[in-house]
Chains A and B, each alone.
Chain A
Amino acid sequence: MKRVQFSHPLMPYMLLLPQLAIVGVFFLWPAAEAIRASFYLEDPFGFGSTFVGLDNFKDVVSASEYSRTAWFTLIFSAAVTFFSLSIALLLAVKADNVIKGASTYRTLLMWVYAIAPPVAGLVGVMLFDQHIGPLNDLAHALGWNMQIGVNYFDTAFAMTVIAVWKQIPINFIFFLSGLQSVPKSVQEAAAVDCRSSSRRFWTVTFPLLAPTSFFLLIINITYALFDTFGIIDLVLKGEPGNNPVTLVYKVFLDGFRGNDLGGSSAQSVILMILVFALTVVQFRMIERRVHYS
């Protein structure tokens, strides 16, 4: 094994320092602070606090809404991840086959990606608006008495559609580049052996896309859990009411809107544990099945 020699023994640590400092200041320190705060009930202004042990965790878990929020988060994340990946893959496969005017199609499909997330959220909210939204009118014309912000399911539906719509273009770009890196020779060899193009896709092309798919799976789960925050905030217009929220949004609601630092910290600690578990599962269980080269 080749060893890199540094002129000074401290040199490698010096080089690592900036990165370690960033991790420490922006991740480890806040995480430690959250863990500490989760055991206290603290005055928001910082004048007083009471050590309450595990009470914050008990209060969080025993609240009637917490399990509903957790279930919604799970279903919402699964739906957003599944639909944004599958629709993007379908579009990418179809766009990959187009020869005439290919760049026009691709540009049109990537179009939404150029819109900033808050703007996309706003556009989505306006499309679903109870009073002026065309999608709302369409639903009513089809006999669906859609009321975003009043009906729990309708609001969840709108959030999912907007979140999927915003995420399709980036998935599309990655899938398309993945598809284009599948060597022509492999495709031709498979075509000689197998006439069914759909079977060829699932048995040859799709496994070759596995690294791309795995990467996108992680990106999309992260997106659905964390980055949909802005969309949820816009759909709810700042007032949760009887509407679905995700666990991350609830941390924000209780901590930033309600100034309940202890309860909010307890929730973020629970979330940290969940994310840690999810990461282990993803990299230990799923990545093993991914064939890189």
Chain B
Amino acid sequence: MDRHCDGSGVNSASHVRFFQLSHWGATKMTLRKATGVATFAALAMSSTASFAATEINWWHAMGGRLGEVVNEISTKYNASQDACQLTPVYKGNYEETLTAGIAAFRAGEQPNILQVFDAGSATIIGAKGAVVPAEDLLKDAGVEFNIEDYIAGVRYFYADAAGKMIGMPFNSSTPILYYNVEALAKAGVEAPKTWEEFEAIAPKLKAAGYVPLAQSHLPWIFTENFMSRHNLPFATNNNGYDGAKGTKILVNNDAIKMHFTKVKGWLDAELFGYYGTGWGDNQKVFQDGSAAMWLGSSGSFGGLTKSTDFKFSATYLPHWASVSETGTNTFIGGAALFAMSGKPKGENDCVANFYSFLTSADMQYYWHQETGYVPITNAAYELATKDGYYDRVPAAEIGIKQLTLPGGENTKGYRMGFYVQVRDVMNREYGKIFSGEKSVDDAFQTIEDEANKLLARFAKTSN
């Protein structure tokens, strides 16, 4: 019955013939979505520009509300004087902005000011000749500069080994503990100062129906600032400041392994929630009231105020009393402004002029209030104090107070190359610890090995 079913005998079938595509290797790159916006902004700016003003541009990574504040600052600056015309351009996230800056530099089209984040600072500072140090720029333009004017925690993070300021600190934040006031009251507990205290209160918060704790950035909060909070060395060569050659990471130590063993225990006991590497996924549980406490950036303050409908407050990043009895100051996170080299003196003077505008007490206070980032100068901090800002909003002072806590020899900052990948390795290995794929010991061994390999590779790039 089923014979002839093989299609034999069927001979003519007309077909559309398709040709092979020459598609191979054509990897598609995402288009810069910012281009349109930037063009528009440039047009809007130029229409109000006065004639003969020196034009300078500023590539930044501040999206959303932060981007609006950056635009407001630029508008204020342009209105404050006639000689210089500043155009801010949003270039995407931190990594995209740095990459755009590098590509532009290689093509000779670099902006006057490039915003570079903490993890990228070794890359830009390591490239000798890519930037004009902020200190030189200001002095050449005849602007008074005294590094002591900047608050202690901020001063040397973007400086070279000799203490010369290379990048002008801009958006500076530090990890702090936010807590839901109602949640803690319901559980009848106080915000913890140490991890020992956290262990005591976490079961009560769980019993009250909350995820006791979440955090948004494991490498930043539970690694870099873990080192700083406990005054532990993070890398050889003076935490990497003395040069890339021979720098080795010191992340594989007993204190941090003890911490991650504890955190994994908390995760399994549902005393800690982990929602992946996305910042927002972890912040969301605090915002919607399901997590009682959240470790985030002091710069998250402005956003949280707008997005929450419960009373929240903040306190210092907890430390292990067993490792460091009192705890030391934390590192700053965020980003700095770098003046790219290869620009005429007139434009550099405008950048210096803008820097002094930006670091004025009034502007810093404005930036601090609008965003929650810390004021970077002592004068601005005093102004905010005198104005009674911290009496009205005590939580806004936590970040700057934590940065000015007594420090130690390891709390100035760190400088490591290819650090974006080092962070990626950390995130990956921490994910494996949490999913149970790897033991804490194995994960830290991998982090140490791979990070040292990356550091050695980086040292070879700057020959």
Contacts and interface: CB of A to CB of B under 8 A. Distances in A.
Interface of A: 27, 31, 41-50, 52, 59, 63-65, 118, 130-131, 147-152, 177-178, 181-183, 186, 189-190, 193-196, 199-200, 203-204, 207-208, 211-212, 214-215, 218-219, 222, 226-227, 229-230, 233, 237-243, 248, 251, 253-254, 256-260, 262-263, 272, 275, 279, 283, 292-293
Given A44-B127, A64-B446, A272-B25, A260 B418 contact: yes
Contact of A45 (B6, B130, B288, B418): B130
A241 B219 CA distance: 11
Interface stretch (B82-90, B176-184, B419-427): B419-427
B7 A211 contact: no
From A177, A193, A219, A242, residue with most partner B Cβ within 10 Å: A242
B463 interface: yes
Contacts of A196: 2, 5
A168 B5 CA distance: 30
A222 B28 CA distance: 11
A222 B24 contact: yes
Contacts of B5: 190, 193-194, 196, 199-200, 203-204
A263 B7 CA distance: 53
A204 B93 CA distance: 54
A269 to B, nearest CB: 11
Nearest to A64: B446
B162 interface: no
A257 B431 contact: no
Interface residues of B, number: 73
Contacts of B276: 130, 147-150, 239, 241, 243
Given A150-B276, A239-B427, A50 B13 contact: no
A148 B277 CA distance: 11
From B24, B25, B420, residue with most partner A Cβ within 10 Å: B25
Given A43-B127, A203-B7, A293 B14 contact: yes
23 contacts: A42-B461, A47-B127, A48-B461, A49-B461, A131-B284, A149-B276, A149-B278, A149-B281, A199-B2, A203-B6, A208-B15, A212-B16, A222-B23, A233-B30, A237-B280, A239-B427, A240-B428, A241-B431, A242-B427, A242-B431, A253-B421, A254-B421, A262-B461
Given A43-B127, A46-B106, A193-B4, 10 more contacts: A44-B102, A45-B124, A149-B276, A152-B435, A230-B28, A241-B277, A241-B424, A243-B276, A259-B420, A279-B24
Contacts of A293: 13-15, 17
Contacts of A43: 126-127, 461-462
Contacts of B400: none
B146 interface: no
A183 B13 contact: yes
B296 to A, nearest CB: 15
Interface in B1-34: 1-7, 9-10, 12-18, 20-21, 23-28, 30
Contacts of A241: 276-277, 424, 427-428, 431
Nearest to B22: A23
B450 interface: yes
Contact of A65 (B6, B123, B428): B428
Nearest to B457: A41
Contacts of A177: 16
A283 B18 CA distance: 13
From B102, B120, B454, residue with most partner A Cβ within 10 Å: B102
From B9, B276, B284, residue with most partner A Cβ within 10 Å: B276
A194 B2 CA distance: 5
A230 B1 CA distance: 52
A131 B277 contact: no
A226 B25 CA distance: 8
A177 to B, nearest CB: 7
Interface string B192-214: 00000000000000000000000
Given A211-B15, A292-B15, A47 B277 contact: no
Nearest to A199: B5
B48 to A, nearest CB: 34
A124 to B, nearest CB: 16
Given A46-B106, A190-B10, A150 B95 contact: no
A68 to B, nearest CB: 10
B260 interface: no
A44 B457 CA distance: 12
Given A44-B461, A63-B450, A239-B277, A181 B14 contact: yes
Interface in B346-395: none
A229 B5 CA distance: 43
B453 interface: yes
From B30, B124, B281, B453, residue with most partner A Cβ within 10 Å: B281
